[in-house]
Structure 1
Amino acid sequence: MTLNVDIETLAIAAGVVDKRGGISYSARNLNQLRKSLQGQANYLQLVHPYYTDATTAESLMRQAGARVWRKGAS
């Protein structure tokens, strides 16, 4: 089983970010791409402490509305 969730939604569920709209997911040039990736990396650094325990990580992802993907399911 794999859980898939948007990093911004996850950060909001973890309580490390107050509202949506803090990061970009697109870029029209290399400079914007760097900024977008840096913003996403910053969010990952904020939620990383919540991923030291698998049970806590799964609970947080489900709270954030993660989609469940089952291996071999069509």
Structure 2
Amino acid sequence: MADTGIPHFCNDLGVSVIEVGAREFMCIGAKPPFDHPHIFIDLGSDTEAVCSYCSTLYRYNPALKAGTAKPEGCVWADKPAA
């Protein structure tokens, strides 16, 4: 994923679980300016991890493409789409 960067996920929707299609990613909490420190999460061989700041449970879903999430509104990009 070095060519596309590390995906960033947010939880403005307030869901308890976000399914992600990546094993390495950043949790930012809410979208800026209400974000928390951006936390790098590496699932390794695990399928779930909890963000230590916002307590969002992230669950790896191999059916999702890398960098995508379910719900879709939980993917964050710091630049507008071209």
TM-score, reference length from structure 1: 0.30
Structure in which a larger fraction of residues adopt strand: 2
Return the index of the structure with the highest Cα Rg: 1
TM-score, reference length from structure 2: 0.28
Structure in which a larger fraction of residues adopt helix: 1
- Greater relative contact order (Cα < 8 A, sep 6+): 1
